Amino acid sequence: MSRISRSSLIVAVLAALAAGPTACKGGGPVEVGAVLPLTGEFALYGEPIRQGIELAYEQVQADEDLNFELALEIADSASDPAQAAEASARLYAQGAVAVIGGVTTDEALAMIASADREEKVLLSPSASSPRLTGISRNFFRVYPSDFREGTKMGNFAAQTLGIESAVIVAAESPYARGIQDIFKTEFERYGGEVPAVIEYPPESENFEPIVAQALEHRPVAVYVADYARNTARIVQTLRAQDYGGKILVTSAFAAPDVLEEVGPAAEAVLVTQTAMPPDEPAVASFSQAFAAKHGHPPSIWAAHGYDALMVLVEAMREGGTRPDDVWKGMRSIRNFQGASGVIQFDERGDVGKYPRTYVVRNGELVDYERAVEAERQEILRRIEQLNRASRSGTGG
């Protein structure tokens, strides 16, 4: 048995267990793979993505209008890009017409070679580096490029908040470098100053010297570009050193359980991430089904996992179930309403979703504009109370 076979966690080859006669006109199930970090550092993303994929699979299996049978195998990358590459190559070789994977940028970059070698679709649920834009005709992603997120936060910091100075603290990784460069460019374009960019190895454990170096510049804001665990440690260290300025972070910070782990230190932290429009029927239906199955609301990562499988199925409906047909189907998708928003791929495999800015309030992410409006209404309410009390006193 190969190393990847030993280390892979096969969550399900669910079609083999499906009840009833096969619906596939070709005489066998259409195989789809998924490679996710179910153990290791990035399991906090991989696990909710798996939950979203499996919920989508259950709904696909119950779809009586589907004219083919679907088989799904999920393998564990163990948060290791090399292992992710081996797992994707194995799944393609076993007959998978497409693979969902590349949860992180490093894993996506490692998996693209096998997708190109096999001329099959690789669909990432969450990798976001601008480096991935147009990297391969076979690569698609349902998560937007960091170009949009970095642009949004840079513009928001400079124009909405009026921040004049921000130090960037970022990991030495493709993901962090991609988004921090975009933030810096946009922030400076609107008059902001970045006196320092402080980078550190992703495996760092002690962030006190890094934070101390950042605070030497007396910044109005600190922008942190890294995945959730390190971002959480930096936020906690900033608060421990009594930093009272704005803390700006990426969507990676909003992983399940991280806000709870950071606790009060996360209060008022500003986050950019894709919005899940609650008024859309597809979003509401997904949220209700997910909560009924798992007992808690879905995260944005679960929504993107769900959409990844649903988009592949839609591509097969549109184009067919052979590998080249799946590719054509992906190209033909138009305005597909998913749980994470509307999905349509451009010529480079990217989606056109736009992030919003959120602020942490009492351990939860709240839309910034709504939070500001709620605070404004509360101020008006208190003013009215004071006016009433004053008039009552005068009248007495």
Per-domain boundaries in the chain: 3-145+277-353, 147-275+356-368, 369-396
CA 323 from centre of chain: 26
pLDDT of residue 394: 52
pLDDT of residue 27: 62
Can you tell me the distance from the alpha carbon of 307 to that of 353, in angstroms, rounded to the nearest whole number?
Answer: 13
pLDDT of residue 371: 82
Can you tell me the distance from the alpha carbon of 52 to that of 301, in angstroms, rounded to the nearest whole number?
Answer: 8
Identify the bridge partners of residue 271 per DSSP, sorted by sequence position. Answer: 249, 358
Asked whether the beta carbons of 387 and 306 are under 8 A apart, the reply is: no
Nearest CA among 333, 326, 283 for reference residue 304: 283
Can you tell me the distance from the alpha carbon of 194 to that of 182, in angstroms, rounded to the nearest whole number?
Answer: 12
Asked whether the beta carbons of 272 and 157 are under 8 A apart, the reply is: no
Can you tell me the distance from the alpha carbon of 79 to that of 82, in angstroms, rounded to the nearest whole number?
Answer: 9
Q: Matching CATH topology for 3-145+277-353 and 147-275+356-368?
A: yes
Nearest CA among 370, 233, 351 for reference residue 303: 351
Q: Which residues in the chain come in under a pLDDT of 50? A: 1-26, 395-396
Determine the CATH number of domain 3-145+277-353: 3.40.50.2300
pLDDT of residue 269: 97
182-197 tens-digit pLDDT: 999 999 999 999 999 9
Which pTM was predicted?
Answer: 0.87
Nearest CA among 49, 28, 44, 32 for reference residue 307: 49
pLDDT of residue 304: 97
273-292 tens-digit pLDDT: 988 777 788 899 999 999 99
pLDDT of residue 11: 42
Per CATH, which fold does 147-275+356-368 belong to? Rossmann fold (3.40.50)
pLDDT of residue 395: 47
Alpha helices for 216-280 (secondary structure H) = 228-240, 258-262
Q: What is the DSSP letter of 57?
A: H
